[in-house]
Amino acid sequence: MIRTALAMSLMLLATPGWAREAAPAAVHAHEHVQAGDSRFVLLEGGRNFRDVGGYRTADGHAVKSGIMYRSGSLGSLTARGQADLAGLHVAQIIDLRTSEERSRDAFDLKTAFGEQYWTRDYGMSLGDARSMFSDPSKLTAESMRTMMANAYRTMAREQTPSYRKLFAELVAGKQPLVVNCTAGKDRTGIATALVLTALGVPYETVRQDFLLSNGAPGMETLAASLSPGLNRLPPDVAAPLVGVEGVYLDNAFDQLRRDYGSVEGYMEKELGVGPREIAALRTRMLD
């Protein structure tokens, strides 16, 4: 149920074209990070596009700027947005979206980037989640928050093939690299958290980066993508779906520790990222 509920939420967020705009998502005051951060790159038609560089590691190094970006969907970039993206001289794009999500793109990323663009064909089963979302009046802020927080416990495992490819390209020096999904907050949020962790960035900093999705440029378009019924949810009920909370990432990392002994254990066993690969990453990505 948890897995399919998250799948439903992702598909709802990805579906365009509904006329009525949802109320902006509210987040807990202590979990809101201001989006006026210089790391954001404004791409017309884009969402939540930002530089991962600048963060300090525990041993005093800094993640290089301009070599890894995280983003929401790039499939709606305008001509100007596409030109600005090209100006970043991206060497690799890792697109974490499903086949269904990508099918509605106006901007053909595969044609534009050729072998520099990677994605995989997969789908998400909606299963019992259809009934959960069939009557939005029964949804509450707490039930939505619990659904999302628990869903994060399975997300890394489900995205393992994509995360493995992401790390392989970074280790190989395919930079600048962009990793994206639809909102740029969930699948991309965990992906970025894993990379920053491998680089030695303290967890509190990793968590703050995760929370930057709240209020990020272009995220206001995400709420408008909710389906009829869901787009009439009270702001506090919609917030856990269209925003992020620290407990989401906490749960993802906690589950990896339970399953693999440590986050690094997951990266080594499932992603092929052991001491040698981490050393290579740090040489390429840290000042």
Question: Would you list the domain boundaries of the chain?
Answer: 2-285
Question: What is the DSSP secondary-structure string of 65-133?
Answer: TTSEEEES--TT--HHHHHHHHTTT-SEEEE---HHHHTT-SS-HHHHHGGGEE--------TTHHHHH
Give 39-87 pLDDT, tens digit per residue: 999 999 999 999 999 999 999 999 999 999 999 999 999 999 999 999 9
The pLDDT value recorded for residue 169 is 98
pLDDT of residue 38: 85
pLDDT of 103 > 50? The answer is: yes
Q: What DSSP character marks residue 156?
A: H
Give the per-residue pLDDT at 9. Answer: 59
Alpha carbon of 122 to those of 4, 13, 239: distances in Å? 14, 17, 27
The DSSP code for 40 is B
| Residue 27 banded pLDDT, cuts 50, 70, 90 | very low
- Three-state SS for 286? strand
| Confidence at residue 238, expressed as pLDDT on a 0 to 100 scale | 84
Residue 176: asked if its preceding bond is cis (omega within 30°), the reply is yes
Place of tokens 């897995």: 3
Lowest mean pLDDT: which of 20-24, 48-52, 64-68, 119-123? Answer: 20-24
pLDDT bucket at 203, cuts 50 / 70 / 90:
very high
Instruction: Kindly tell me if the per-residue pLDDT of 32 is higher than 60.
Output: no
pLDDT for residue 139 = 84
Q: Which pLDDT score, from 0 to 100, does residue 10 have?
A: 56
Q: How high is the pLDDT of residue 132? A: 58
Please give the mean pLDDT across all residues of the chain. Answer: 86
What pLDDT was estimated at residue 126?
47
Q: Is-above-0.85 flag for pTM? A: yes
With a pLDDT cut of 90, the percent of the chain lying above it is 70
For 32, which DSSP code?
-
Residues 5 and 153: their CA atoms lie apart, in Å, by 13
Strand, helix or coil for residue 62: strand
Domain 2-285 has CATH 3.40.190.10: no
**Two structure tokens written together for 23:** 């109320």
- Could you tell me which residue, 61 or 2, shows the higher pLDDT? 61
Closest CA to 162 of 209, 102, 122: 122
Average confidence (pLDDT) over 200-220: 96
